[in-house]
Amino acid sequence: MIFLTRKAEFSAAHFYWNDDLSPEENERVFGKCANRNGHGHNYTIEVTVSGEIDPVTGFVVDLKLLKDILEREVVGVYDHRHLNHEIPDFKTAIPTTENIAIAAWKRLEGKIPGAKLYKIRIYETLDLFADFYGPPPVDESQEICGLGNYMAGEDSAG
C-alpha cells in the first residue's frame, strides 16, 4: 500500500458563534472569532489517499482526476464563500478548522475511485492545522449510518 497526498487552496470567510450560548459567553469562548461580521483565511487542504499501485499506469489514483474531484467537491464549493452563511455543512456546525476537516471528509468519502480516503488535513494558517482520519469503524451489527451525522455540533446546535 502507498499513500498519495494532493494539496489545494481555498479562501473563505467565517466566524464562530453558538446560538445556544449568550452573546457574553460567545465572546468569552470565541474571542475575536465571535465577531459576526466574519474574517477570512487562505486555507490549504491536503487529501491523503491510500491504495495499491496500478501496474499499468504506476498510479494509485490519477492525480488529475484527484485534483478535479477535490475541486468539484470541496475547493469549488468553499472558495470565496462565507462558510457560515453560504455552506450548508456549517448551518449548525461551527466552521472551526476541526469541523472543516470533518466536513471535507464527508464530501470526499466514497468519491475517489480506486483509492481509500486516509486523511484530511486543513491548514487555517501555517501555524494551525487539523487532521481527521475518518469516523470510527461502523459496527456492522448496528444500522449502517453511511455518511451519517458524525460532524460535531450537527445534531446539537440550532
Partner 1 sequence: MNVFLNRRYHFSASHRLHADSLSAEENSRTFGKCNNPFGHGHNYIVTVRFSGAVDPATGMVANLADLDQFAKQRLLSRYHLVNLNTLPEFESVVPTTENLAIEVHRIFSHFPHAFLESVNIEETPNNSFIYVTPSIFRSSDPPQVPFSAPQTKGSAT
Binding status of residue 24 toward partner 1 by CB under 8 A: no
Q: Which of 66, 75, 94, 104 binds partner 1 (CB under 8 A)?
A: 94
**What are the phi and psi torsion angles at 143 (to 5°)?**
-60, 135
Q: Which of 98, 104, 106, 107 binds partner 1 (CB under 8 A)?
A: 98
CB of 26 to partner 1, least distance (A): 10
Q: Tell me, what amino acid is at 4? A: L
Binding status of residue 101 toward partner 1 by CB under 8 A: yes
Give the number of residues written for the chain. 158
Binding status of residue 147 toward partner 1 by CB under 8 A: no
Active-site annotation, residues: 33, 80, 124
Binding status of residue 18 toward partner 1 by CB under 8 A: yes
Binding status of residue 135 toward partner 1 by CB under 8 A: yes
Q: Which of 47, 69, 83, 93 binds partner 1 (CB under 8 A)?
A: 93
**Gap between the Cα atoms of 31 and 5, Å rounded:** 34
**Residues 67/79, Cβ–Cβ less than 8 Å:** no
Residue 76: strand, helix, or coil? helix
**Residues 83/12, Cβ–Cβ less than 8 Å:** yes
**Gap between the Cα atoms of 2 and 117, Å rounded:** 12
* Helix/strand number for the chain, H first, E second: 5, 5
CB of 40 to partner 1, least distance (A): 17
CB of 131 to partner 1, least distance (A): 4
**Residues interacting with partner 1, by CB under 8 A?**
16, 18, 20-21, 29-31, 93-99, 101-102, 126-133, 135-136, 150-153, 155-157
